[in-house]
Amino acid sequence: MLRSFKEILEAAREGAAKKLVVSCAEKRDMDLLGRATEAGLIIPCLVGDGSATETMIRGTLPASLDYEIVDEKDPVRALNRAIQLLTEGRADIIMQGSTAHQAFLDAILTAKKGLRKGKLVSYISVFHLPKQEKLILVTDTFINNNPNLGEKQQILENALRLAGILGIDTPKVAALAAIEQVNLSIPSTLDAAILSKMSQRKQFGKAIVEGPLDIDCAVSEAAAGRKGLQSVVTGNVDIYLVPEIDTGHLLAESLVFFGKMETAGVIMGTEHPVILNLPFVSDENKISEIALAALICGKRGNDA
């Protein structure tokens, strides 16, 4: 089982370098791509204005590094060309460049020419817990706003797939809600209880889903005990399944900005790993995101 971002990096470097494509890359992307290339993780493919890209490369990337440039000056066509390289099997990973979030996601997830595999696509934030020396997954923290029960099932299945890639053999899942008891007036508690029952019936394989759980019961076995809850999940959670985007995004940002925790994330449910340019992921941790994406490629784990 991988327990840190350092171990993810080491595992990713065991495989061959992956072709990572970026459309309309900015100068700030070049240092990141250079470090990831030097680490043996990727071979960059830069789609955009060829002459402008060459100028950026000369000022940032060492001449000895391998890279490819695809000249396409129009930003929309550049993004579509980058996606086409993936669908044609000529690239492995796509990373967001200067394209705005919504335009990038719209192009990535379009039914006809995008990378969606037909099921739900979700975003997973991975955090390192130094005290326990383990990785935890929080989802969905960016894409799905108010998922219904069926969508939560698919979000969970995406997270379980990533957990398997990280070597978590029996993932322990906390289905979060405002309180730890089923309340008919709080739909998230009902969804969590149903997912928990589905887990008991082995519908999620070896995963153990407990819910509803409020955050104190999820993180503290002692707190759960005071409330009469006994579960192998409490105090030892691998996956935190949040009820909706407000909870997920705020939790992720709080862990980073208040808790000073390291994080990296990736989209799951696409043909190829997709790396977003999110503000709560530090420049240093973006290397971890590339390593995570490369690891997913190597283990063919991003199937929806």
pLDDT reported for residue 304 = 39
| Residue 65 CB neighbour total at 10 angstroms | 13
CA distance 140 to 246: 10
Kind and range of the H or E run holding 135: strand 134-139
Q: Compute the distance between CA of residue 42 and CA of residue 96 in angstroms, rounded to an integer.
A: 15
Q: What pLDDT score was predicted for residue 248?
A: 96
pLDDT tens profile 22-57: 998 888 888 889 899 989 999 999 998 888 888 888
For CATH 3.40.718.10, the residue range(s) in the chain are 122-257
The closest of 246, 185, 245, 182 to 214, measured between CA atoms, is 182
- Listed in sequence order, the residues at least 6 apart from 228 whose beta carbon sits closer than 8 Å to its beta carbon are none
Q: Return the ∠ at Cα 170 (arms to 2 and 153), rounded to 5°.
A: 105
List Cα–Cα distances, 63 to 32, 34, 58, 94, 123, in angstroms.
15, 10, 8, 23, 35
User: What is d(CA 84, CA 79) in angstroms, rounded to the nearest whole number?
Assistant: 9
Write b or e for each residue in 73-88: b if 16 or more Cβ atoms lie within 10 A of its Cβ, otherwise e: eebeebbbbbbbbbee
Where does the chain hold its CATH 3.40.50.10950 domain(s)? 5-119+265-298
Q: In order along the chain (304 residues), what is the average pLDDT of each group of 10 residues?
A: 95 93 88 90 92 81 78 93 94 93 90 79 95 94 96 97 96 96 95 97 96 94 90 95 97 94 94 91 91 86 43
Q: pTM score, two decimals?
A: 0.93
The CATH label, of 3.90.550.10, 3.30.390.50, 3.40.1790.10, 3.40.50.10950, for the domain at 5-119+265-298 is 3.40.50.10950
Q: Among 91, 128, 141, 151, which residue's Cα sits nearest to residue 273?
A: 91
Please check whether the domain covering 122-257 is classified as CATH 3.40.718.10: yes
Closest CA to 285 of 303, 254, 260, 250: 260
* Residues facing 68 on adjacent strands: 45
